[in-house]
Structure 1
Amino acid sequence: MITSVSKARYDWNPSRNQDDDFVLVSSFKWIIQQTVGWPMIAIFLIVMTAIIGSLVRDVYRTRWLRLPPGPLSLPFIGGLYLLSRKKPHIALESLVIKYGKIFTIQMGVEGPLIFVNEVEVAKKLLKTSKMADRPMMPIFKHLSADGKDCIGCIPYGLQWKKQQRLCHAALMDVQNLSLEDHVSYTMDILFKWFDKQGGKPFDPAEVCEQSLVLFQHSCIYGLRYESMKDLDFIHQVKTFAKSIKCLVPDHPLNLFPWLWYLPSEASKNFRSFVKERNDFLEEQVQNQKSGKCFPNNVLNHMLKTEQDSVDTMEIKVCAWTMNIGGSTTLSSTLKWLLLYLAHHRTLQKRLQQELDSVTEQGSSMKNTHDTPFTDAVIKETMRISPPNPFGIPHTTNDDIHVENFVIPKGTNVMINIWQIHHDKNVWKNPRSFQPQRFLSEDGKTTNKQTMKNFMPFSGGARPCIGRRTARTFMHMFTISLFKHFNVSLEQTDFEDIDIEGSMTFGLDPAPYKIRITRRESSNIE
């Protein structure tokens, strides 16, 4: 049979006998079966079906549903192959060049994710309450009552507004009455730690995180520690690190929610973490009632103004959410601020000269108008290295029409803050650290035009609740530190440091070392 087939004519001929064609096809099937086998044929057909299905889905979404365009989706993984776990903000830059203001990436089997990369489009979307929901990660259901107690993931509506008003009022009360005291307490412990280093080089990452635990626990719960060697404080630092590990999007319980119902290691550890957190929060509530804490704190103000529609569990979860969110955002910003000013010593000296000048005039640390250059340095730090390059994800609760596209109800949307802050069409030399861009020509006031393109805390109908307190803290921290200390970079070559950063819970710089020494003009005991 094989011999006769090999001698057959393969060119098309109308007069060819049908038996010859049958013999040819049958022989071809026989060869495939013998060399490949039915299992491989089945796998090939499944793969091809999945690829064609992905292509059809992409075309259907962009042509019929009018979603923004995006890269080719592969079966099962979608567009995840284009993203980098540590540097997703950098990996997306090529897609921004190709697709522009807004594009779609299929996130595995989870559905499409919209990225908004232009400031005007972002502001337009953020203004509408149609994009004010948050995605409900499976772990949030276990952190609160099905996510109903958590201000970070509760749907936009009446209950969220009540929680938001309660949190905002408490933060404003603390900011107006005692924020300077909370900062002074934190800096006092931090300065003692700096002095003990004796000018030796150290990696500031850990001490930045610890200083935020000090501040947040004082500000949110009224907890005070004697020093960084306090055993309770060390325990809370470890608990904070555990909290961050439990909240990452790729936690096993987010990827495989059914693990919660099995005797898995992930479920066991998470249950233990939730119990420890709940016990800690209940202890803090009792401390407020018994007066075993510094009185002017956020939790205390929230409990005093408790409404019938916001129960104690909601208040506890809100306080915890503000603690975790504020700590991660501010610690990332502190790491970048120290890095940039340690390298740009000329800018550091200019900042210190401004601080020396206003100190003689008796200006308050809260008053940003008296220290415009200091304020510009902080803003430039948050522009060039935003603490969270994509902000907090949004979810649409209705169809939204934007830029001739449609974002369907239930779609997750990310604001690409990194791209907005590095847009060459808006910022001159966006990768260069230039605080002057935030100042007017005379250097005495803020450049209002520049501020239109600056959005480190996102914005709109559902902005960061603690943004005002965060800005005030950063201003007071910077003034207090650089008024009394000089900061220098241990490395001589700044190019060795990766200024693009890596994503953890926020955007952190690669490890680096600095030296912190007292200024001659410092008069602190």
Structure 2
Amino acid sequence: MLWVIGGICLCVFLYPILQDLYLVYIRGIPPGPVSLPIIGGVYRLNPRVPHLSLESIGKQYGKIFSIKMGTFGRTVFLQDIKLVNQMFDCSDAHDRPDLPIFRIVNTGADGIGSCRYNSRWKTMTKILHRGLAHIPSSSIEESAIDAYLQLTDMFIQKQTCSIYYPRADVVKTCTAIISSLVYGVKTDNIDSPDLRSRIHYHSLLMSFLNPAHPFNLLPILWKLPTSIRKTLHQCISDRDELFDNSLKDHAENYNGEIKDVFDIIADYELKVKNHQNTSDDFERKDLFLSAWTIYMAGCDTTTDTSIWILLYLCVFPDVQEKMREEIDSVFTKEPKDILQQKQFLNYTRAAILECLRLSSPIAIGLPNVASRDLQIDGYTIPKGTALMANQWHIHHDETHWPEPFQLKPERFLDADGTIFSNYHIFQKMPFIPFSRGKRPCLGQTIALDLLLIYVTILLKKVEIQLPANYKPDLTGNVLFNLRPNEFPLECIAR
């Protein structure tokens, strides 16, 4: 009997190793760490800093390698901008993985975040892209200035505290701004009960969207009667109720002017009602989930990037001062019409881009899936395999970024101090914070505008610094985004 048990255990242990050998040497997939039963090669990843683990693995296996991610399957990781561009340019490498969390959160529908790269995705993206372009920048700026002024007032008021950590207030501010953009909620009170409720369910849901979350690597965990599962379903119910109420309100009050994302949906439904759009192969809930994707991604990335900017401007005070000098030269009084003056804020905009590079909020990118067998760098990528770009490594590659851990806005400026064109920055440079290719971030322009408004208001109102002798941890911690660790902040009103 013991021989039988021992034989079974040996087979269980050897099977994933033999499968690795078959895939690497027979099928020709990229090599990677030896797979163990059930967990695959996940043991090589530090869940707190997976981008650093991947960088270490890349030193052993090269610029392209694969890891079996538990029961999720094999994922190919790319750590070279040429290979990443090859992936982005391939129309057969833009599907999304079938994560268990998507099936639960989507409740039978599919938004632009999880939808396959097909006609449905293209049509929904086209509708949302055109709609976002119709939202007046003056409306976005008005809401953002209102919220950021409240934030800077909080910074000043809370300096009476012995130690002040800014994250909670930045979260409220960014959530209020993105809520205004998506739902049309006013930003006159960034500490309202409704806003706190949205922050609560947003935080929980984002933690589960990480592909490396144990519940995604081992889907059987979803079947266990845990309290987390119950709370998650309650959050989804609250979200759907908010959606229904918001759309009802927008449908009743829509006057043909698009002011937020839900107006885009109301406009689309009005056209459907008038039989102007009858052939689209998606449903109302798909657009709901697309709006929710914009909300979730917008809140998280805007919040984390805003906090990273605070931290880096404290660590590199010379950059902070040069930004302030430029802002003061453009705005002698209270800043207004900031976006209309952006052409005069070259150094400030370059510093924002450099903070995005240095922080790399989407550290390991979003998972794409091959819809057919592909060839990348001489390796076979089988249909259904996930591909991910280690953005953090690409943004810190000394080959392209000398002194990669220094904050140098000049990287994005020409010899005359003028910022490079968007095409050069986002298509030619090894710089992919908003992804690239067939499936880039829809909110890139709005995100950069919000960050410009943020730093303009911030540096016009206050000087920021870390407490004396405080040494910050610049490593961060990956949940979905790469989140900066908490740090104390000192503000001096100007």
Note if contact 1:186-1:211 (Cα within 8 Å) is conserved in structure 2: yes
Please give the residue correspondences for 1:44-443 in structure 2 after superposition, counting only pairs within 5 Å. Answer: 44-146=6-108, 148-198=109-159, 200=161, 201-249=163-211, 254-255=216-217, 257=219, 264-291=226-253, 296-306=259-269, 307-308=277-278, 309=280, 310-360=282-332, 364-366=337-339, 367-443=341-417
SS of 2:65 mapped into structure 1: strand
Structure 1 portions without partners, runs of 5+: 1-37, 520-525
Note if contact 1:288-1:295 (Cα within 8 Å) is conserved in structure 2: no
1:365 alignment partner AA: I
2:488 alignment partner AA: K
Residue 268 of structure 1: CA displacement? 2.8
Task: Quote the residue 1:467 is aligned against.
Answer: 444
Note if contact 1:375-1:475 (Cα within 8 Å) is conserved in structure 2: yes
Task: Quote the residue 2:434 is aligned against.
Answer: 457
Deviation sequence 1:262-305 (CA, Å, 0-9, x none) = 75544433322221111011111122134499972121133213
Note if contact 1:380-1:435 (Cα within 8 Å) is conserved in structure 2: yes
TM-score by length of 2: 0.90
Root-mean-square deviation (CA), in Å? 2.6
Residue 506 of structure 1: CA displacement? 0.7
Task: Quote the residue 1:31 is aligned against.
Answer: none
Residues 1:499 and 1:475: Cα distance change in structure 2 (over 3 Å): same
Please give the residue correspondences for 1:6-17 in structure 2 after superposition, counting only pairs within 5 Å. Answer: none
SS of 2:230 mapped into structure 1: helix
What is the rounded CA distance, in whole Å, between the counterparts of 2:320 and 2:205 in structure 1?
34
Residues 1:316 and 1:133: Cα distance change in structure 2 (over 3 Å): same
What is the rounded CA distance, in whole Å, between the counterparts of 1:341 and 1:109 in structure 2?
42
What is the rounded CA distance, in whole Å, between the counterparts of 1:431 and 1:225 in structure 2?
36
Note if contact 1:177-1:296 (Cα within 8 Å) is conserved in structure 2: no
What is the rounded CA distance, in whole Å, between the counterparts of 2:204 and 2:18 in structure 1?
43
SS of 1:115 mapped into structure 2: strand
The one of the two structures with greater contact order (alpha-carbon pairs below 8 A, sep at least 6) is 2
Residues 1:104 and 1:257: Cα distance change in structure 2 (over 3 Å): closer
What is the rounded CA distance, in whole Å, between the counterparts of 1:93 and 1:268 in structure 2?
37
Query: Identity of aligned pairs, percent?
Result: 28
Deviation sequence 1:290-342 (CA, Å, 0-9, x none) = 44999721211332134442533222221111100111111111111000101
Residues 1:215 and 1:424: Cα distance change in structure 2 (over 3 Å): same
Q: 2:479 aligns with which of 498, 504, 516?
A: 504
Residue 492 of structure 1: CA displacement? 2.3
Residues 1:115 and 1:178: Cα distance change in structure 2 (over 3 Å): same
Between Structure 1 and Structure 2, how many residues are aligned? 478
SS of 1:73 mapped into structure 2: coil
What is the rounded CA distance, in whole Å, between the counterparts of 2:37 and 2:284 in structure 1?
46
Deviation sequence 1:162-204 (CA, Å, 0-9, x none) = 1101111222222535221121221232233233224644111
What is the rounded CA distance, in whole Å, between the counterparts of 1:343 and 1:117 in structure 2?
28
TM-score by length of 1: 0.85
Deviation sequence 1:371-427 (CA, Å, 0-9, x none) = 111111111111111111111110110111111111011000111101111112221
Note if contact 1:175-1:469 (Cα within 8 Å) is conserved in structure 2: no
Note if contact 1:219-1:297 (Cα within 8 Å) is conserved in structure 2: yes
Task: Quote the residue 1:10 is aligned against.
Answer: none
Q: Which deviates further from its counterpart, 231-240 or 279-288?
A: 231-240
What is the rounded CA distance, in whole Å, between the counterparts of 2:484 and 2:5 in structure 1?
44
What is the rounded CA distance, in whole Å, between the counterparts of 1:431 and 1:262 in structure 2?
43
Note if contact 1:253-1:266 (Cα within 8 Å) is conserved in structure 2: no
What is the rounded CA distance, in whole Å, between the counterparts of 2:452 and 2:314 in structure 1?
17
Q: 1:490 aligns with which of 447, 467, 470?
A: 467
Note if contact 2:134-2:258 (Cα within 8 Å) is conserved in structure 1: no
Residue 238 of structure 1: CA displacement? 2.1
What is the rounded CA distance, in whole Å, between the counterparts of 2:239 and 2:289 in structure 1?
10
What is the rounded CA distance, in whole Å, between the counterparts of 1:246 and 1:389 in structure 2?
16
Note if contact 2:152-2:462 (Cα within 8 Å) is conserved in structure 1: no
SS of 2:388 mapped into structure 1: strand
Q: 1:514 aligns with which of 485, 489, 493?
A: 489
What is the rounded CA distance, in whole Å, between the counterparts of 1:468 and 1:250 in structure 2?
29
2:354 alignment partner AA: E
What is the rounded CA distance, in whole Å, between the counterparts of 2:195 and 2:232 in structure 1?
22
What is the rounded CA distance, in whole Å, between the counterparts of 2:187 and 2:143 in structure 1?
12
What is the rounded CA distance, in whole Å, between the counterparts of 1:100 and 1:404 in structure 2?
13
What is the rounded CA distance, in whole Å, between the counterparts of 1:101 and 1:250 in structure 2?
21
Residue 260 of structure 1: CA displacement? 5.8
Note if contact 1:77-1:108 (Cα within 8 Å) is conserved in structure 2: yes
What is the rounded CA distance, in whole Å, between the counterparts of 2:388 and 2:325 in structure 1?
40
Residues 1:269 and 1:225: Cα distance change in structure 2 (over 3 Å): same
Note if contact 1:382-1:456 (Cα within 8 Å) is conserved in structure 2: yes
Note if contact 2:71-2:218 (Cα within 8 Å) is conserved in structure 1: no
SS of 2:400 mapped into structure 1: coil
- Structure number with greater Rg is 1
Note if contact 1:199-1:516 (Cα within 8 Å) is conserved in structure 2: no
Task: Quote the residue 1:23 is aligned against.
Answer: none
Structure 2 portions without partners, runs of 5+: 270-276
Deviation sequence 1:332-366 (CA, Å, 0-9, x none) = 11111000101221111110001111225999422
What is the rounded CA distance, in whole Å, between the counterparts of 1:110 and 1:297 in structure 2?
36
Residue 504 of structure 1: CA displacement? 1.2
